[in-house]
Structure 1
Amino acid sequence: MGLVSAAVLLTVLKIVIELDLREIMAKAGPGAFLCPSELAGQLPTQNPNASVMLHRFFRLLATLSFLNCSHRNLPGSTVKRLCSLFI
């Protein structure tokens, strides 16, 4: 992993810790899959792009096996990404 990639990962992990996302996901129960928009709704933020940013964070963390992600097909040929903790 390059130096820039490592810096991005550390920044994302810092944000995840500061927002207490792990605890929010753990409260959903073991093996529960949540979408980024559900999590964004539980955060103390007014940022309309919060779910988009969480989606990007989760995509990175899933690529590095920090999260377990799956996709659900919705009506209208849209796909929803759902993520859960490995623990």
Structure 2
Amino acid sequence: GRARLQYTILGDTVNTAARLESWAGPGADGDGDHCRILISATTLHHLDEHCHARPVGSLTLKGKAQPVPVFRVTDEVGDPLGV
């Protein structure tokens, strides 16, 4: 028979991404914009100068001692990277 592979994604990175996706904190909606991309400071750090983002608040996550800073990716050149 055919072998079947099953994959499960677990871990801190996936949990953080899922919570960012569902977060409705202040400024997260992009002032009514229908499209938004929210990222953590860790992701922003890895993107370096290739990304413009605006800080929109902090998210308290289960299992984390400190709130996670949240950033909204923008196409505005003048926005600070925030980290």
- Do they superpose with TM above 0.5? no
Which has a greater percent of helix? 1
Mark the structure with the bigger radius of gyration.
2
TM norm structure 1: 0.28
